[in-house]
Amino acid sequence: MSLHKSEQPHICILDAFTTQPGDLNWDSLKTLGNLDVFDRTKPEQVVERARGKEILITNKVLLTRKILDALPDCKLICLLSTGTNAVDLEACKEREIPVCNIPSYSTDSVAELVFALLLDWARGVRPHAEAVREGAWTRHEDFCFTLSPQVELKGKTLGLVGFGDIAQAVARIARGFGLQVSAFTPHPEGKPDLGQRFVSLDEIFSTSDIVSLHCPLTDETEQLIDQTRLNEMKKGAVLINTGRGGLLDESAVAEALESGQLGAALLDVLSTEPPKADNPLLTAPHTVITPHIAWATRAARQRLIGILTGNVEAFLNGKPENVVNGV
């Protein structure tokens, strides 16, 4: 399928708010077609809003085979994300609809949050600062006090599951902290030498003081971190997940935190977002959870919109870019 730029396509963004909550704009897209922007779209609203639109843009709104059957005018789907879980890629391929994602826009932002979480665990800056504000230091008889063990990162082993762009950025930062970096990837060939040591997945879990997940969510990696893997980890090790919530068996992780087998879970993602109130990780000890914000710096979102605009323009020029379904 193709559509020439001069035809002024109808473009629809189904869930725009998290990408552009008011501090940026969609002006670059408006130059390419007639743009409809919806902050949020409920499942029952998708077909009505997307009907007659040639270009659909989604982040988390699902575009299933059934929905696509009701949208014969669709010629391009663009994701507001790197992940592709929201779209039925096979159904799009059958209909010759290219699906384009946004690669590498948030690499540095996500890597920075990994260390924000890690430093929060290691030094407890936030609870100590809150205690000072509440008067605890003023009342104390000593010149200093600690509310949690103060952990030095230098010399500890950081295990990276996956070694794509984000994991590589994490590895570069880790060198500055003096961490020893191990990494697992099914395809280590051609990867840059950043001081990491490539090891097996089993060795990542058995030897790392800190394990950080940077692999995609697939049938093979769903609930990768289960009771068996948790039992393989060093007692008291730290788990970081800024990838996808589905990588964890959340009940097993909560149990490992309760027992002390897992020292801490530092998470930016959960299996269901927003989480259900009964998610066991919300009340598990030694857990820090942020609401999927690793990607959300202004700089990263500005890059996202720029790449998105480029994806639409490339399609209109007959040369689609960042296509993930082989069309």
Cα–Cα distances in Å, from 3 out to 7, 69, 75, 180, 313? 7, 19, 8, 51, 10
User: Which residue blocks in the chain are alpha helix, DSSP H?
Assistant: 27-30, 46-50, 65-69, 89-94, 107-123, 125-133, 136-139, 165-176, 201-207, 227-232, 250-259, 298-316
Count how many Cα atoms sit within 13 Å of the Cα of residue 196 in the half-sphere of its side chain. 29
| Catalytic one of 128, 292, 301, 303 | 292
| Residue recorded with tokens 């007959």 | 318
DSSP calls for 149-191: -----TTPEEEEE--SHHHHHHHHHHHHTT-EEEEE-S--TT-
187 is catalytic: no
Instruction: Decide if 26 contacts 301 (C-beta within 8 A).
Output: no
Residue 273 annotated as catalytic: yes
Which residues, other chains included, contact 230 with Cβ-Cβ below 8 Å and sequence gap of 6+? 252, 253, 256, 261, 262
Cis peptide leading into residue 274 (ω within 30°): yes
Provide the residue type at 121 as one letter.
W
Q: Using an 8 Å Cβ cutoff, are 103 and 82 in contact?
A: yes
* CA–CA separation, 230 and 205 (whole Å): 8
Q: Which of 244, 250, 301, 303 is catalytic?
A: 244
Query: Catalytic amino acids?
Result: 244, 273, 292
